[in-house]
């Protein structure tokens, strides 16, 4: 989604991407390292959560405190994340500090100290985050939902589980970092105000090390189940629901996106109107497309008081199924305008563009232009969306609930 | 960037900052009303009313309102706090006029009984949702404890009881008193035509009846009470600390927010190095919140039950260390860099600009450029922060915890 794309590939295979933005003073950058939860060895669930903390606890010639102070001194806003396929580390900052920030991030990625005492602290915090999930049922239900919906190991919890986190050692985690911080499969993306020649020269001098190394393929296992309930004495039943749809690379991807928008793109859409506006069942209700490279689904969350749980689930599934029965021209038009507007509005933020070009490159092997996406959205119609929905009827729903009362999934 | 302003004869303020190179535009209606303007009997009405504004007018049903917004591809919503209700939409420039007309129309809603009854259920669901979010619940309860009898302690959502007992008639009465032109600001930012917005406002808001709305202000030193609520279903201890700070009108607000960053930014702060880095707490943040005529420093800490005593001891040492040793030049330099870069990044988006534009007008009736704010932050000295620390004892706080 860009008007101009800068690109350079290092000899070791690392890909550098850039999207210049005229109107901003900020710059955002990120490294996508192939160490996401699905790529971890069995029994190491949650290692990513430890790693994104541990690598910041001292690197290059700076100890943990000095490294933290140096990052803060540049006024940068750190953004680390663990996904299914990648670990992301990056930041947003004012453009004049970019070069110094890249030097620091090279240390963090290539020369982290990985001291044993610091490992124990990072591990404790990772374990605490899993405990804290019990006090955030809305977040927990969606993590569980991914785990149950995707074929193993794609949906593995990015936060991990207590047993496997407890079993991890500094030695085993170091081995994961060594194996997964594979530069030949790493993408670096930058967006905002920058000089690409200068960035490329600097990144090349810092990261042109190591040999090309292919990734091990991920073997997919079975899905974990249809309905899971976790009993909890809360005020609401938190419902997560997901059903299969086409992957981002599928030719019907844009039909699926428009279809999801008719279901839940704005406040006039099906789920909001039927579940909240007409029946007053929920405050929070919404569905969105969730795509990985190897599988994708439509993911829905609803939170409601226990006595309304069953009616909410029935109503939501009813709306999913009703979608292929008919969609009006007006609904399609609203969905298209919504998708195109949010696309353009996202393009104003350097952070969202740096993330966008990196994930496009991973998903599609290239970065889609804004015009390409707009014209593909524009090319959808009532007929194409309905045709897609009728050929790909929603079959199985994976449902997870957390709360004081179970529901029945028909 | 070009600033524009105009006041209608009925005292409605219109303001705008035009940036023709922006790819989007944002519009907001800022209403100076919130939980602090409610009596106990109608607690929660401001927030409920915010929901009801989406339910339409004599001309539009709720579904028609939602359809009209979605036709513009808007990212739109509203929010209610202790002292403001804020409605906004972010759109592509070609839709700004349409979406502005829509917001203006909705500012004179029908508030129908049947819509009121259905939406009451949604509000109760929202109350239930936040009950399941202890990180929110603890802040809400601590605010009430801290502000004690001061109206800023009123809950924004209200309680299950206050919402059950609230009538549509009471809401209509509250609306008539608070949504007066002199209590509202219509603001736009980004790529839009100022002349067009002005003439639309003249034409459609000109007949809103002029009236006087005032809010009584008063600083609150805080109750400094300490309480704990036991909830056996929780896994962690959630702790909120609150102490008095300067107001949104006070020039020292920039120093106060730097102090908040030094003490409790999510990384690199004193809380971070002493509590999070050492794995005593998995979250420990402090922020400064400027309010109308008053202000608060509020901290949120989450840890295991076993670590509570140790965590509170460390917090005491951190606050004690501030009083005895103050901050260093280097502390201040890092905090400034963080706040300045946030400011730049936020204001690159018309939506971010709209927020500063609108709230500066609500609190100060003043236009401030991003550069003026940058200069004000750069001008803060170590001594300036020290005088704040001396006057506002951070260690003398109200404390509320919720845990198993």
Reported as a single tens digit per residue, the pLDDT across A256-267 is 999 999 999 999
- A210 pLDDT more than 80: no
pLDDT of residue B1: 86
Same domain flag for B120 and B232: no
A409 is a domain residue: no
For the segment B313-319, the average pLDDT, to the nearest whole number, is 98
B216 is a domain residue: no
B131 is a domain residue: yes
- State phi, psi for B18 to the nearest 5 degrees: -95, 130
A220 is a domain residue: no
Question: Which of A57, A118, A135, A231 should one mutate to test binding to chain B, selecting the residue with the greatest count of B CBs within 10 A?
Answer: A135
CB-CB under 8 Å, B234 with A65: no
Q: What DSSP string runs through A65-85?
A: HHHHHHHHHTT-EEEEEE-SS
What CATH number did the domain enclosing B385 receive? 3.30.830.10
Same domain flag for B237 and B178: no
Peptide bond into B225 cis (omega under 30): no
Same domain flag for B299 and B191: no
- A2 pLDDT more than 70: no
pLDDT of residue A1: 44
Same domain flag for A121 and A234: no
B213 is a domain residue: no
Please name the member of B63, B126, B135 whose beta carbon is closest to the beta carbon of A273. B63
Same domain flag for B236 and B125: no
What is the b/e burial string over A268-283, where b = at least 16 CB atoms within 10 angstroms of the residue's CB? Answer: bbbbbbbbbbebbbbb
Question: Which residues in chain B are closer than 8 Å to A283, comparing Cβ atoms?
Answer: 122-123, 125-126, 129
| Cβ atoms of B237 and B403 closer than 8 Å | yes
Question: Which residues in chain B are closer than 8 Å to A278, comparing Cβ atoms?
Answer: 118
Same domain flag for A243 and A161: no
| Cβ atoms of B189 and B63 closer than 8 Å | no
Same domain flag for A41 and A137: yes
B73 in contact with A, Cβ within 8 Å: yes
CA gyration radius, chain B: 22
Residues 275-294 of B with CB under 8 A from A: 276-279, 282-283
For B186, the domain range is 2-205
Last residue of a domain, one of A207, A240, A258: A207
CB-CB under 8 Å, A265 with B70: yes
At residue B214 the predicted structure's pLDDT band, cuts being 50, 70 and 90, is confident
Structurally, how many domains does chain A consist of? 2
> pLDDT tens, A30-74?
999 999 999 999 999 999 999 999 999 999 999 999 999 999 999
- B219 pLDDT more than 90: no
Cα separation, A242 vs A235, whole angstroms:
23
Residue A103's alpha-carbon distances to A106, A203, B200, B257, B279, in angstroms, are 5, 9, 53, 30, 28
B130 is a domain residue: yes
B212 is a domain residue: no
Last residue of a domain, one of A207, A242, A274: A207
B81 is a domain residue: yes
- A22 pLDDT more than 90: no
Question: Which of B277, B304, B339, B370 should one mutate to test binding to chain A, selecting the residue with the greatest count of A CBs within 10 A?
Answer: B277
Question: Which of B348, B354, B401, B403 should one mutate to test binding to chain A, selecting the residue with the greatest count of A CBs within 10 A?
Answer: B348
Tell me the β-bridge partners of A398. A242
Last residue of a domain, one of A207, A236, A261: A207
CA distance A78 to chain B (A): 9
B94 in contact with A, Cβ within 8 Å: no
CA distance B303 to chain A (A): 8
pLDDT of residue B42: 97
- A224 pLDDT more than 80: no
Question: Which residues in chain A are closer than 8 Å to B44, comparing Cβ atoms?
Answer: none
- Coil vs helix vs strand at A260: helix
A40 is a domain residue: yes
pLDDT of residue A264: 97
What CATH number did the domain enclosing A358 receive? 3.30.830.10
Last residue of a domain, one of B205, B237, B267: B205
Structurally, how many domains does chain B consist of? 2
Same domain flag for A280 and A189: no
For A371, the domain range is 227-403
Residues 344-363 of B with CB under 8 A from A: 344-345, 348-350
- A198 pLDDT more than 70: yes
| Cβ atoms of A194 and A18 closer than 8 Å | yes
Same domain flag for A159 and A274: no
CA-based nearest residue to A328, from B13, B63, B41, B164: B63
- A214 pLDDT more than 90: no
A219 is a domain residue: no
The alpha helices in B206-269, defined as continuous H runs, are 253-264
Residues 5-34 of B with CB under 8 A from A: 21-24
B215 is a domain residue: no
For the segment B105-111, the average pLDDT, to the nearest whole number, is 98
Same domain flag for B329 and B231: yes
pLDDT of residue B216: 83
> pLDDT tens, A133-153?
999 999 999 999 999 999 999
B219 is a domain residue: no
């Amino acid at each position: 989604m860009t008007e101009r794309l800068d690109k350079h590939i290092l000899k070791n295979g690392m890909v550098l991407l850039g999207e210049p933005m005229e109107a901003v003073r900020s710059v955002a950058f990120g490294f996508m390292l192939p160490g996401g939860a699905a790529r971890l060895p069995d029994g190491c669930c949650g290692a990513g959560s430890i790693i994104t903390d541990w690598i910041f606890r001292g690197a290059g010639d700076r100890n943990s405190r000095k490294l933290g102070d140096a990052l803060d001194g540049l006024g940068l806003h750190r953004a680390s994340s663990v996904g299914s396929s990648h670990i992301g580390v990056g930041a947003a900052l004012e453009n004049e500090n970019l070069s110094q920030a890249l030097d620091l991030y090279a240390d963090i990625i290539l020369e982290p100290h990985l001291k044993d005492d610091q490992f124990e602290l990072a591990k404790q915090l990772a374990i605490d985050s899993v405990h804290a999930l019990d006090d955030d049922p809305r977040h927990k239900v969606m993590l569980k939902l991914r785990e149950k919906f995707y074929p193993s190991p794609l949906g593995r919890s990015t936060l991990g589980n207590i047993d496997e986190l407890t079993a991890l050692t500094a030695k085993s985690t170091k081995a994961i970092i060594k194996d997964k911080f594979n530069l030949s499969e790493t993408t670096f993306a930058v967006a905002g105000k920058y000089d690409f020649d200068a960035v490329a020269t600097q990144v090349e001098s810092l990261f042109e090390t190591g040999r090309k190394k292919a990734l091990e393929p991920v073997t997919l296992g079975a899905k974990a189940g249809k309905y899971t309930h976790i009993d909890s004495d809360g005020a609401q039943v938190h419902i997560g629901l997901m059903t299969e749809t086409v992957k981002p690379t599928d030719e019907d991807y844009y039909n699926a996106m428009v279809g999801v928008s008719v279901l839940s793109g704005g406040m006039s859409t099906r789920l909001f109107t039927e579940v909240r506006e007409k029946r007053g069942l929920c405050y929070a209700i919404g569905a969105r497309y969730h795509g990985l490279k190897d599988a994708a689904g439509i993911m829905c969350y609803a939170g409601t008081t226990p006595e309304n749980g069953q009616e909410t689930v029935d109503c939501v599934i009813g709306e999913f199924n009703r979608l292929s029965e008919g969609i009006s021209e007006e609904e399609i038009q609203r969905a298209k305008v919504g998708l195109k507007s949010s696309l353009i509005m996202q393009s104003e933020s350097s952070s969202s563009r740096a993330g966008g070009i990196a994930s496009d490159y991973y998903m599609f092997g290239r970065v889609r232009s804004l015009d390409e996406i707009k014209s593909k959205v524009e090319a959808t119609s009532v007929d194409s969306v309905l045709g897609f929905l009728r050929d790909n009827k929603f079959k199985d729903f994976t449902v997870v609930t957390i709360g004081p009362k179970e529901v029945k999934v028909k | 960037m070009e600033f524009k302003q105009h006041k209608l004869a009925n005292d409605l303020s219109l303001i705008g900052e035009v940036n023709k190179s922006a790819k989007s535009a944002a519009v907001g209606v800022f209403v100076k009303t919130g939980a602090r303007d409610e009596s106990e009997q109608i607690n929660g009405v401001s927030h409920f009313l915010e929901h009801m504004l989406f339910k339409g007018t004599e001309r539009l049903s709720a579904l028609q309102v939602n359809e009209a917004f979605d036709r513009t591809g808007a990212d739109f919503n509203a929010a209610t706090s202790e002292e403001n209700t804020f409605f906004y939409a972010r759109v592509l420039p070609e839709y700004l006029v349409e979406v502005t007309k829509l917001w203006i129309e909705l500012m004179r809603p029908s508030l129908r009984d049947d819509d009121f009854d259905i939406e009451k259920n949604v509000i109760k669901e929202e109350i239930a949702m936040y009950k399941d979010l202890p990180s929110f619940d603890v802040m809400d309860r601590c605010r009430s404890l801290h502000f004690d009898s001061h109206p800023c302690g009123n809950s924004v959502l209200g309680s299950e009881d206050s919402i059950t007992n609230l009538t549509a008639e009471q809401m209509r009465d509250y609306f008539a008193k608070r949504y007066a032109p002199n209590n509202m600001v219509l603001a736009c930012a980004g790529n839009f035509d100022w002349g067009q917005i002005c003439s639309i406002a003249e034409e459609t808001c000109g007949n809103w009846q002029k009236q006087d709305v005032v809010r009584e202000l008063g600083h609150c030193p805080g109750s400094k009470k300490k309480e704990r609520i036991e909830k056996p279903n929780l896994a962690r201890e959630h702790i909120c600390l609150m102490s008095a700070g300067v107001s949104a009108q006070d020039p020292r607000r920039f120093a106060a927010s730097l102090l908040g960053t030094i003490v409790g930014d999510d990384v690199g702060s004193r809380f971070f190095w002493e509590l999070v880095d050492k794995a005593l707490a998995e979250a420990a943040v402090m922020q400064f919140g400027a309010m109308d005529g008053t202000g608060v420093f509020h901290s949120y800490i989450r840890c295991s039950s076993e670590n509570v005593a140790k965590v509170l001891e460390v917090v005491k040492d951190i606050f004690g260390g501030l009083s005895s040793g103050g901050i260093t030049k280097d502390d201040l330099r890092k905090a400034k860099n963080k706040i300045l870069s946030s400011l730049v990044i936020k204001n690159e988006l018309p939506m971010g600009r709209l927020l500063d534009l609108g709230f500066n007008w609500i609190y100060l009736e003043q236009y401030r450029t991003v550069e003026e704010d940058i200069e004000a932050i750069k001008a803060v000295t170590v001594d300036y922060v020290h005088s704040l620390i001396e006057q506002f004892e951070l260690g003398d706080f109200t404390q509320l915890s919720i845990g198993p």
